[in-house]
Amino acid sequence: MSTTTREESDVKSPAAAEQQIADEVLRINIDASATSPTVLFLTSGIFWLLVGSALGVIVSLKFNLPEWLGSTPALTFGRLRPVHLNTVTYGWISLAGCGVIVWLVGRLCRVEIRWRGLLYASAVLWNLGLLVGSTLVIAGYSGGMEWLEFPLPAAAIIALAFVLFAASIFKTFSVRQVEHVYVSLWYILASLIWFPILYLVANSGAYQGVGEAAMNWWYGHNAITMWFTPIGLAAAYYFIPKVIGRPIYSYYLGLLGFWSFALFYNWNGLHHLVGGPLPTWAITVSIVASLMMFVPVMAVAVNHHMTALGHLSIVKYSPTLRFVVFGAMSYTAVSFQGSLEATRTVQEVVHFTHFTVAHAHFAMYAFVTMILFGSVYYIMPRIAKWEWPYPTLIKTHFWLSALGVAIYVIALTVGGWLQGLAINNPTHPFIEAVNITKSYLWARSIGGTMMTLGNLLFAYHFALVVYRAGPRRFAPAWMQKVVEVPSE
């Protein structure tokens, strides 16, 4: 692992100095091998982030103004909403995640990235799959199941892209030059095995009726927990110690966290069907597994937060640490919420409400997306050889995204809860459950618009770095004056 810290440069012996230079050269070569694929994946991801967030805002406004864009079939709520979900998850998070993974794997395996042709092919195919899938859903060819709306041709292209991507990463891993395989790699490698099987099973069409519903939500939950979450956790496990400049708090907690994660998460899915027409035992198993998630979540939380403890002042100036710590804290919070949310008592109220939508955005934006932002802030200057030109822009991005998602989550959590209570109150007509959400849905539109503006600033800034535009900086783009120099 290339965790050579700056202090080591103080070592004076000639042999050590030579080793130091060799390490630097190796690292430059590794980063160089990752540059093109990483930039390709990140650029694609950010493109879909913009598409997906624009759709998100439109879809949100349709709740406030139901007649708006209401006479065009292609712009109706029921078609744009799945395209929003699919572009932000299979587009933004997956592709940006792939970009981060490529770079991390080079660094963590200490070798240049192998089979890079497969990575280019993967990125091109992946984009094609997203384009075909989105177009088909808008044209009216949705597969019909949530998280699986892309019809077979698009799903097949994306599956192929994923396999090509995984092949390159496994090849690189197989020629690694490290004794110890770091925690981040466990999560990455596991997810590269889990997700393709999951995606193939889900698109196989092998199920029918309620059995299909069970598969649907096993898949829907696992797509989040066995692909998007490992990306976020792998990045957090790498960047928190990296920026702070000290090792992760506990190897054994990492081990416990990973294996309990693998064991329990996979059984969670049926909590999406609590109260539904499934065998009660199966749903109960999922609720128990959801509560068991306290184990991996606390292991990861303690590990991340104990590593950062005492160094939290760095979040004032390091963009990477600020975004990643925000994401890691959100992971703890959203997971605790998720475990409690899975219980029958809470499900009775929130099951069919906007509360769930708030929870989803808490996870996918406040946790995964914020960590991806932080990772990109770290990676780009190193591979583009160009610092972020405007630190103020980073700060503005952070506050727009952080406050935006806070407004979003709080508004829909409260609104969704009230909606659930109203649905469950039979003495009042159903329409009251609709009316009670209306002001909260406006607040959601405001929060969502702020998040979208933050994403736009980020995309603009990213483009400047790719094109090496804007004022040239020779020092890291800290968000405020640095008192003590961290090792970033």
Partner 1 sequence: MMFIRSFVFFLGVLATFLLGWAGIVGLPDIMISKVGPPPGLKRYTADQLYGRSIYIREGCIYCHSQQPRPTGFGADQQRFWGRPAVPADYVYDKPHLLGTMRTGPDLFNIAVRQPSEEWHVLHLYNPRLVSKESLMPPYPWLFEEKLSPGPDEKPLALPDSIAPKGKVVVPTSEGKALVAYLLSLDHTYPVHQVAAENDTTAPKQ
* The one among 251, 279, 312, 463 contacting partner 1 by CB under 8 A: 279
* The one among 124, 262, 291, 410 contacting partner 1 by CB under 8 A: 262
- DSSP SS3 for 214: helix
Query: Whole-angstrom Cα distance, residue 256 to residue 241?
Result: 19
Query: Whole-angstrom Cα distance, residue 467 to residue 384?
Result: 9
Q: How far is the CB of 171 from partner 1 (least distance, A)?
A: 14
**Which of the residues 8 through 47 are near partner 1 (CB under 8 A)?**
none
Query: Whole-angstrom Cα distance, residue 159 to residue 153?
Result: 10
Q: Does residue 153 touch partner 1 according to CB under 8 A?
A: no
**Which of the residues 126 through 145 are near partner 1 (CB under 8 A)?**
140-145
What amino acid occupies position 47?
Answer: F
Query: Quick one: tokens of 142?
Result: 């949705």
Q: How far is the CB of 329 from partner 1 (least distance, A)?
A: 27
Q: How far is the CB of 99 from partner 1 (least distance, A)?
A: 23
**Which of the residues 193 through 232 are near partner 1 (CB under 8 A)?**
193-194, 197-198, 201, 207-216, 218, 222, 226
Q: How far is the CB of 83 from partner 1 (least distance, A)?
A: 10
**Which of the residues 52 through 81 are near partner 1 (CB under 8 A)?**
62-63, 66-67, 70-73, 76-79, 81
Q: How far is the CB of 195 from partner 1 (least distance, A)?
A: 10
Interaction mask 412-431, partner 1, x per CB under 8 A: -----------xxxx---xx
Q: Contact, 245 vs 318, CB < 8 A?
A: no
# residues contacting partner 1 (CB under 8 A): 80
Query: Quick one: tokens of 421?
Result: 């209570």
Query: Whole-angstrom Cα distance, residue 454 to residue 24?
Result: 35
**Which of the residues 161 through 190 are near partner 1 (CB under 8 A)?**
186, 189-190
* The one among 50, 146, 381, 395 contacting partner 1 by CB under 8 A: 146
Q: How far is the CB of 217 from partner 1 (least distance, A)?
A: 8
Q: Does residue 269 touch partner 1 according to CB under 8 A?
A: yes
CA-based angle 320:324:325, to the nearest 5?
Answer: 115
Query: Whole-angstrom Cα distance, residue 337 to residue 291?
Result: 10
Following DSSP, what letter does each residue of 411-439 receive, concatenated? Answer: HHHHHHHHHHHHHT-TTS-THHHHHTTHH
CB under 8 A, 24+ apart: contacts of 112-116: 112/29, 112/30, 112/32, 112/33, 112/34, 112/172, 113/30, 113/33, 113/34, 113/37, 113/168, 113/172, 114/168, 114/171, 114/172, 114/175, 115/167, 115/168, 115/171, 115/172, 116/33, 116/36, 116/37, 116/168
Q: Does residue 474 touch partner 1 according to CB under 8 A?
A: no
Hey, what's the torsion of the CAs at 117, 191, 301, 246, to 10 degrees?
A: -40
Q: How far is the CB of 348 from partner 1 (least distance, A)?
A: 5
Q: Does residue 361 touch partner 1 according to CB under 8 A?
A: no
Considering the complex, state which of residue 236 and residue 433 has its C-beta at the smaller distance from partner 1: 433
Considering the complex, state which of residue 194 and residue 323 has its C-beta at the smaller distance from partner 1: 194
**Which of the residues 292 through 351 are near partner 1 (CB under 8 A)?**
344, 348, 351
Q: How far is CA 95 from the centre of its chain?
A: 10
Query: Quick one: tokens of 140?
Result: 């009216």
Considering the complex, state which of residue 274 and residue 394 has its C-beta at the smaller distance from partner 1: 274
Query: Whole-angstrom Cα distance, residue 432 to residue 396?
Result: 38
* The one among 434, 443, 446, 459 contacting partner 1 by CB under 8 A: 434
Query: Given its phi and psi angles, is residue 245 left (phi above 0), alpha (psi -120 to 50 degrees) or beta?
Result: left
Q: Does residue 114 touch partner 1 according to CB under 8 A?
A: no
Q: Does residue 353 touch partner 1 according to CB under 8 A?
A: yes
Q: Does residue 266 touch partner 1 according to CB under 8 A?
A: yes
Considering the complex, state which of residue 47 and residue 141 has its C-beta at the smaller distance from partner 1: 141
Q: How far is the CB of 58 from partner 1 (least distance, A)?
A: 12
